[in-house]
Amino acid sequence: MRKSILTESCVQIAEELRLDKPFQAKIIYHALISGITEFENITSLPKALRERLKAEHGSLLSSKVVRKAEDDSAVKLALLLSDGSIIECVRLSDGKGRYTACLSSQVGCAMGCAFCSTGTMGLIRNLDASEIAEQFLQLTLLGEPITHIVFMGMGEALTNFTALMDAINTLHREDGFNISLRRMTISTCGYVPGIRRLSELGLPVRLAVSLVSADDDTRSRIMRVNRTYPLDQLKDALLSFQHHQDKRITLEYCLLGGINTDRSSAEKLRMFMKGLDAVVNLIPWNPVDGLDFTMPSEREIQGFTGELRRMGINFTIRRSKGQNIAGACGQLATETKREDIFHK
Ligand code: SF4
């Protein structure tokens, strides 16, 4: 099967699979949602039909797991898509039974943030909605119920807006995965037109912004998006989001050794946050081969968190889950290349 049926209506499924009886489309859709990925295992369908569907379409999945890596808090899958592209997605566990899917929205990314491994790939292509939604299905096949979703994998989700919204609708669909919109978080590097579009829609999804620095010069050096959409424009867009959605925003602050951990950086962050209902999520940078940054020292981390505490800034610190398997923020990238798979 070249394209997943996940994003399709039952009418479309019936048409595409040439089903005589429309209710069979519903059976197939529900089988897939419940984790049955092979036509031959949908035993409520006649045998002859199962055989025809298998012969014509192969599997119900359009992607294939080509690599799996895990540590005690995360499982990362590399998925081979029908055009030979490879993307990665991660299932994160909080250790208390809550599972979160981290999904990619693009193959590569055009934004080129200097601290991010995916940014080194450039944009290869956008994913379509079914490719985004199928990552969730692949992660549920690992066996645990997943209740939360973050669009924080490869790519800048808000530059692939229509596919992202279609995927969100699919994942939210009541007769499907039925994930609450409130349990979905869209992550952006600060792509202002996308934030504004999202505000206008008024969806009750959450927003996380990779801020990294509240100083324009520093941010422009590290994040190209800031050269087009500097901090004042970003802040305006966030205020507007909050005006429409009334939701607390997460500011992801990747701590880069010697760059954004001093007192003046904390003070600028405080100024940026004035008027925003936001929580800061500190993420000490994880080393990535070929990227010229250093991990913050424990002393820098303690110093910065001490400043934030003194200023009364709400923050959490995330020792990135999935660090050991390169599934942490900004680390989903080229580790699995097509050649690795076909030349082994
Ligand atoms: S941090 Fe996000 S937006 Fe920036 S290059 Fe990486 S994937 Fe793209």
Q: What is the mean pLDDT of each run of 10 residues along the chain (344 residues)?
A: 85 94 95 96 96 95 95 92 94 92 95 89 95 98 96 95 97 95 96 97 94 97 97 98 90 95 98 97 86 93 98 87 50 45 31
pLDDT at residue 318, as a whole number? 77
Amino acid identity, position 36: I
pLDDT at residue 290, as a whole number? 84
pLDDT at residue 334, as a whole number? 46
The sign of the CA dihedral 105, 109, 114, 116 is positive
pLDDT at residue 332, as a whole number? 55
Catalytic position from the list 88, 131, 156, 307: 88
Pocket test for ligand 1, best of 87, 102, 118, 283 (most atoms within 8 A of CB): 118
The whole-angstrom separation of Cα 105 and Cα 66 is 18
Residue with tokens 């942490």: 328
For residue 67, the CA-to-ligand 1 centroid distance in Å is 22
What are the residues whose beta carbons fall under 8 Å from the beta carbon of 137, sequence distance 6 or more? 4, 6, 32, 33, 35, 61, 177
CA distances from 202 to 12, 51, 243 (A): 28, 45, 10
Q: 120 by DSSP, 3-state: which?
A: helix
For residue 310, the CA-to-ligand 1 centroid distance in Å is 31
Residue with tokens 């324009």: 216
* Ligand 1 pocket member 118 (CB < 6 A): yes
- For residue 327, what are its two tokens? 């599934």
Q: Which residues of 227-262 are buried (b: 16+ CB within 10 A; e: fewer)?
A: eebebebbbebbebbbeebebebbbbbbbbeebbbe
* Ligand 1 pocket member 322 (CB < 6 A): no
pLDDT at residue 273, as a whole number? 98
* Ligand 1 pocket member 119 (CB < 6 A): yes
